Structure formats: C-alpha cells, structure tokens
C-alpha cells in the first residue's frame, strides 16, 4: 500500500518496551500504531526501504488494506504536531467540517480578487513580532491540517461560483497559513493543483524561506514552466526576511538556528530559476531600522521587489514594540524612497469578485453543532449552514448549542455561546 500523505518507520518506547509503527502525516504531524496491531494483520509485513510512503503486506491485498485502513482511522484520533506536541485536528472530505468560516484554517474569501488558503497551523520559528503567536513556543493548544484534495476541490467550487457571476474573473491565491507553508509536505502538489485551475491568475507562497532548498526551488520552477502561459510568472514567493545581521536575526526570529544567509542564498537561487521573488521585511521601529535600509539596497542590486510590512500589535500575537501609526509608517517609506530611488509605498488596487454567500449576519441567534476545540481548549468550533463558527470561551463541550453571531467580517464567523 502506497500513500501520498503518510510515511512509515519503526520506533520503540524503551521505557515501556513497546514497538510502534510511527506514521508521519503531511510531514509535520504524526501518530503511532502499536506494532502488535499491525502484526495481527500480517506478521510478515515490511516497510519499503526505498520508499517511506509504502507498507508491504504478504497476505491478500484487499483484506490487508481494509484492516490497515481501520487502524489508520482508529489511531488518527491521536494525531499530534511534531513541533508543538499539540493534539491536531485533520479536516478532510469526509469529516463534515466546512473549510469556510475560520480565520486560522481553510479558505478565506473577502469578495476580492485575492483568496487566502491555509492548509495547516504550525511554524518552525518563534518570531518576536508574530501577529498570531505561532511558533515552537506557541501558547496555542490545538493544531490543524487539511487534506490537500479537499482544499483544492473546495477552492475550485468557489472559483466556479465567481466565474459564473463574471466569466472574466481572475484570482490571485495566497497560500498564507498561520505558520510556515513548507511544513506541509504536499505543498508542491497544492501549488500545482491550484495553479492549474483556470480562474487562477497566480499563486503566492508566503514563507520565511528557512525550509527552502535548491531541489524545492527546482521543483517550483518546473511547475511554474508547466502552468505559466506567455512566459508570465504564475508562481510567486514572498519571503519574510527582516535583517541581514545574524545576531539581530536570531533574536527577532526567535530561534538560534535561524540563518539569514541561507534565506538570502535561496532568494538569489529562486531569482535565477525565474521565480518571481518578493522580500517582505517587517519594520520594527528602533530594532531593525538600519537592517531595513540594507534590505532595500539588496533588493535594488538584485532587481527584486520589496514590500515592507508595518508591525501591527495583536491581542493574540507577540508585541515586542509599541505599534506606530500608518501615517508615520508611510512617511518613513517615502523617506527611504527618496534615499534609494526605489518605490516602496504600495499603490496597487484590490479588485472585487463575487463573494461566497454569508448565511449569517451579526446578532443572528443560531443553532450549531459543536465539533471540537479551536486553537485553545476553552474555545469551540461549531458548524451550521455549511460554515464553521468559532465560539470563544464556550461553556458547552459537545452537541448542539445556541449562539449569537458577534462578527461576520471577511466571512469569518465568531459567536457568543
């Protein structure tokens, strides 16, 4: 049996003296099946040493597959994040969980020509300025991951809706999770499948660049050549690098292993492979002022686009400095524009598109089915009218609940239970 999203190896708990089939799921998550359970199916089973996605049974294949899939489903309930150790919820086609309505996972449609796709939560860094508080030391208690095929199918249906309303619709899809997209082992499949959708103008991958390597960039380049027409770049990398100073970088990115030189090398290599690459530093007033100037100079020398991000404080994020206002931020960008002769103030307009129907409005009182916890155990995700609704500090744990909608902004639903 060969799987796209599962990898297998044998591990042993030396304290308990128990052997396990360790199952790596979508690269960044895992669950364990006692080896004795697998041997009940076939005591002579083996793993393919040349293909970690394959498990080989020596008995009747149909019988073995049925029994092994039962084990997968049973122990999938114990899915955890490799990075945080958090319990992880898997959203898939048969889970009866919609991919619309939550801010941190699934698909966000704001009725514009830009759609956000969020395949997972989890990050390999611990940035001091992270607006959503992700990372290896996150306070979040639950993680999420979405089946690749389910994500593409739901996105495709949404695009069909927009095109039906306006046949000329072209959409930019931003793979912009609460975390690092390259932790998602099937990211290349996701990028390719999205880029091949007719209504997709381009695909932006928002990343720290830390997990990039030359092979991944080569693969992205190959995808880009296959899906692009008239030599127009269809894939774009937006890489967040906020300083070239190693000492400052380790501090603001929250990890001693962070290497800005590796990220720079990957930026240069991606450019050589003709992938449009944009650097997106976060400006932290009083922390990396000089570093931002060096990055502007770097972008100018390498003919790269640069989009300087304003630090915004957030209740659930990390806030190392006091937030400056937009007027002061824009004035600083204009000052650097004059100094370096490079456009820094963003002037592009966001177009409109047919928005996915919003079945709720603020103050609606609804009946919804509680499915599981949100990012924090105290919060609950409920489902009603094919939308997910987050109920913060929900007292009820399971079953149907009465709730009042408190926010519907951008098709993200919050309610009070």
Domain positions in the chain: 6-78, 87-340, 365-416
Q: What is the CATH number of domain 365-416?
A: 2.40.50.140
pLDDT at 231: 63
The tokens 């919050």 sit on which residue? 414
pLDDT at 230: 64
The pTM for the full model equals 0.94
Cα separation, 253 vs 229, whole angstroms: 37
C-alpha dihedral, 252 to 256 to 262 to 263, nearest 10°:
-20
pLDDT at 16: 83
Q: What is the CATH number of domain 87-340?
A: 3.20.20.70
Cα separation, 271 vs 81, whole angstroms: 33
Q: CA dist 410 to 115, 174, 179, 190, 357, Å?
A: 11, 15, 20, 23, 11
pLDDT at 308: 96
The set of residues, in sequence order, having a beta carbon less than 8 Å from that of 155 and lying 6+ positions away, is: 107, 115, 117, 173, 194, 197
pLDDT at 232: 73
Do 241 and 279 form a contact (C-beta atoms < 8 A)? yes
pLDDT at 348: 73
Cα separation, 117 vs 126, whole angstroms: 22
Sign (positive/negative) of CA torsion 305, 110, 116, 240? positive
Show the beta-strand stretches assigned E in 198-323: 200-207, 235-239, 276-279, 282-283, 305-306, 309-310
| pLDDT tens-place values along the chain, 417 residues long | 999 999 999 999 888 889 999 999 999 999 999 999 999 999 999 999 999 999 999 999 899 999 999 999 999 999 999 999 999 999 999 999 999 999 999 999 999 999 999 999 999 999 999 999 999 999 999 999 999 999 999 999 999 999 999 999 999 999 999 999 999 999 999 999 999 999 999 999 999 999 999 999 999 999 999 998 766 779 999 999 999 999 999 999 999 999 999 999 999 999 999 999 999 999 999 999 999 999 999 999 999 999 999 999 998 899 999 999 999 999 999 999 999 999 999 877 789 999 999 999 999 999 999 999 999 999 999 999 999 999 999 989 899 999 999 999 999 999 998
pLDDT at 346: 82
C-beta neighbour count of 271 within 10 angstroms: 16
Q: Within its chain, how far is the Cα of 77 from the centroid?
A: 21
């Amino acid at each position: 049996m060969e799987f796209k999203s599962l990898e297998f190896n044998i591990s042993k708990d030396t304290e308990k003296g128990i052997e396990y089939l360790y199952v790596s799921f979508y690269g960044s998550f895992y669950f364990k099946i006692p080896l004795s359970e697998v041997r009940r199916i076939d005591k002579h089973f083996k793993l393919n040493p040349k293909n970690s996605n394959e498990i080989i049974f020596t008995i009747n294949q149909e019988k073995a597959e049925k029994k092994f899939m039962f084990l997968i489903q049973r122990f999938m309930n114990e899915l955890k994040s490799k990075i945080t150790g958090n319990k992880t919820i898997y959203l898939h086609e048969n889970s009866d969980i919609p991919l619309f309505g939550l801010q941190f996972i699934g698909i966000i449609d704001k009725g514009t020509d830009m759609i956000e796709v969020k395949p997972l939560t989890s990050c390999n860094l611990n940035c001091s300025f992270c607006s959503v508080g992700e990372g290896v030391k996150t306070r979040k208690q639950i993680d999420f991951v979405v089946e690749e095929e389910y994500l593409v199918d739901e996105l495709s249906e949404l695009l069909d809706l927009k095109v039906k309303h306006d046949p000329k619709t072209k959409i930019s899809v931003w793979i912009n999770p609460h975390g690092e997209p390259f932790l998602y082992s099937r990211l290349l499949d996701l990028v390719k499948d999205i880029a091949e959708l007719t209504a997709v103008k381009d695909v932006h991958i928002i990343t720290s660049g830390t997990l990039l390597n030359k092979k991944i960039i080569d693969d992205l380049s190959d995808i880009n050549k296959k899906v692009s027409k008239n030599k127009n770049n269809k894939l774009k990398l937006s890489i967040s690098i906020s300083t070239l100073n190693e000492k400052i970088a380790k501090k603001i990115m929250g990890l001693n292993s962070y290497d800005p030189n590796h990220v720079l090398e990957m930026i240069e290599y991606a450019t050589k492979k003709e992938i449009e690459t944009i650097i997106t530093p976060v400006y932290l007033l009083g922390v990396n002022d000089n570093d931002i100037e060096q990055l502007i100079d770097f972008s100018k020398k390498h003919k790269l686009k640069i989009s300087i991000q304003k630090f915004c404080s957030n209740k659930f994020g990390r806030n190392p400095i006091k937030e400056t206002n937009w007027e002061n931020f824009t004035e600083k960008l204009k000052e650097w524009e004059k100094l370096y002769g490079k456009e820094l103030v963003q002037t592009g307009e966001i177009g409109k598109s047919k928005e996915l129907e919003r079945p709720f409005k603020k103050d609606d009182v609804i009946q919804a089915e509680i499915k599981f916890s949100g990012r924090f155990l105290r919060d609950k995700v409920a489902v009603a009218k094919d939308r997910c609704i987050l109920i913060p500090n929900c007292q009820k744990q399971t079953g149907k609940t009465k709730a009042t909608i408190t926010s519907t902004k951008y098709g993200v639903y919050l309610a009070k239970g």
